[in-house]
Copies of this chain bind each other. A is one copy, B any other.
Amino acid sequence: MKDDPTHTTNISLELVEAAQGFAAIGSEPRLEVLLALVRAGPGGLNVGDIQKRLDMPASTLTHHLRFLAAAGLIEQTKDGRSIRNLAAFERIEELAAYLLRECCVDQSGSTPVGGSHDHAR
């Protein structure tokens, strides 16, 4: 019982996914893109909007959006001839939760839940 694939909303992220998520926001331009989307709220922003706000070449922006999407931090839906980008709040929260969960291990002195994450080696 290491991970339950039947759950869509995963409670705990795997290390690999967490690392990918952190890498995605571990770049200033990408973090700025994500924050712009977060601030834009449920309506999101299309690529052109982001481009204007951050003054970034379209091809560069596409490159970064691909990273964010691959890490599950944004969702992209086609809307006419433009692409609507939405911040994936759940994933952001999962990343925060991952950090907090790991952070408190061994500090309070007890294992918080069940040994959910891969230890060993």
**Contacting residues, chain B, for A121 (C-beta < 8 A):** 53-55
**Bound-state Cα–Cα, A62 to B32, Å:** 30
Chain A count of residues within 8 A CB distance of the other chain:
44
**Bound-state Cα–Cα, A63 to B103, Å:** 22
Q: Does A35 contact B (CB under 8 A)?
A: yes
Give which listed residue, B26, B55, B96, B100, contacts A23 with CB less than 8 A: B26
Q: List 30 A-B contacts (CB under 8 A).
A: A15-B28, A15-B35, A16-B28, A18-B25, A18-B31, A19-B26, A21-B26, A22-B23, A22-B26, A23-B23, A25-B26, A35-B102, A38-B103, A38-B107, A39-B105, A39-B106, A40-B106, A41-B109, A42-B107, A53-B121, A87-B103, A89-B103, A89-B107, A92-B103, A95-B99, A96-B97, A96-B99, A96-B100, A96-B103, A99-B99
Additional pairs, 16, CB under 8 Å, beyond known A19-B26, A20-B26: A19-B27, A19-B31, A22-B22, A23-B23, A39-B105, A39-B119, A40-B106, A41-B106, A41-B107, A53-B121, A54-B121, A93-B99, A95-B99, A96-B96, A96-B97, A96-B100
